[in-house]
Amino acid sequence: MRIAASLKLLTFLVPCAFLVPVIIAFAPDLNKVWNSEALQNIKTVFISIFLEAAPFLLMGVFLSSLMQWFVSEEMVRRLTPKHPVGGVLVAGLLGIIFPICECGMIPVVRRLMHKGMPAYIAVTFILSGPVVNPIVFTATLLAFPSHPEITIARMGLAFAVAAAVGGLVYVFVKRNPLRTTKAVVTEVKTHLGFKMASSPHSHTHTHSDTHSDVHAHSHGSTHDHHHSHKKDWRSFFIHAGDEFVDMSKYLVIGALITAFIQTFVSRSDLIALGNGPVASYVFMMGFAYVLSLCSTSDAFVASAFSHTFALGPLISFLVLGPMLDFKSTLMLLSTFRTRFVIGLSVAIIVLVFAGSWLVNFFG
């Protein structure tokens, strides 16, 4: 519990620390912070981004909790073909049916891998699911209403990068990349024990990797059945509420940092950075990594830079963030071997950079 709390604290403090070099580099005159016009601009940009993105964040969290709570891993496993090409293609499009956000993706996929899902299918699903789904598609379309090509490019590149990384995992990864810790073994035994112990007179205990546990007693009486059902729904809403609060802080941080940049970074500096052949991509990809925004709301942050950066850097921000950011790196390191995570991260960064550059070149 202490380790989990420390990781959560780190994911909150690191994005906040990103404000320090931004202010020092671009706003040496700190007295300007107290200028009423500057504060008014910060409030305007911050509130507009938050109010645009919050409904989609709420919708994404709600559907994510529904998928997490009521769709069994066996159902997802049955949908994945045995052939590697078919497996990658299906996993890349699985987010359309199961729109799970990146925060709940890794725990779900870890359990699926323990039940026999191949690593290349799991990785493809982890990378594509948070982007290639109807909620993110709609949010991106509304964030860029006059530029539908951004939405199409985001979906297409995300699918291509996820499929390519899945193919690389299939070819080069020959051993199970999961960490074999005592906690994982205990979790597997818990799930196996649950299956073996499920009988009309047994006590059922379902352990959830996300936020809460659900206890249900099967004694054959109608009263106990309704009581168990009520507790399930109560736990579901608790899970959804915790997820929304947890993700909202990243949206707040992202909107606040964007408002500071828009206010204190001069237009000429941003234009110069946006015109750089490499610097613009590095900035936007690093920005996406540090912010750790939810994929249902990051498009509204990116739209604030639509008049400054070209298509390629915007796409690199929109594709890399849901696949690889600060919080997801910590979750990946807690689930997979360090060497595997390093190789996976390098492959994602290179492919996103190359893909977004090609999108910009042909767009």
Average pLDDT, stretch 247-276? 75
Percent of the chain scoring above 70 in pLDDT? 68
Maximum C-alpha span of the chain: 72
Residues in the chain: 363
Against a cut of 0.85, is the pTM above it? no
Give CA separation, 250 vs 55, 71, 164, 320, in Å. 15, 27, 29, 16
Amino acid present at 100: I
Amino acid identity, position 88: V
Which amino acid, one-letter code, is at 180? T
Low-confidence winner among 116-125, 178-187, 192-201 (lowest mean pLDDT): 192-201
- Give the other-Cβ count within 10 Å of 228's Cβ: 16
Q: What is the pLDDT of residue 358?
A: 96
| pLDDT one-digit tens code per residue, 132-152 | 999 899 999 999 999 999 999
Residue 10, pLDDT above cutoff 80: no
Q: What is the pLDDT of residues 153-180, one digit of tens each?
A: 999 999 999 999 999 999 999 889 998 7
The pLDDT score that the predictor gives to residue 165 is 97
Give the span between the Cα atoms of 44 and 10, in whole angstroms. Answer: 28
CB-based contacts of 22: which residues, under 8 Å, 6+ apart?
Answer: 257, 260, 261, 264, 265
* More reliable by pLDDT, 217 or 22: 22
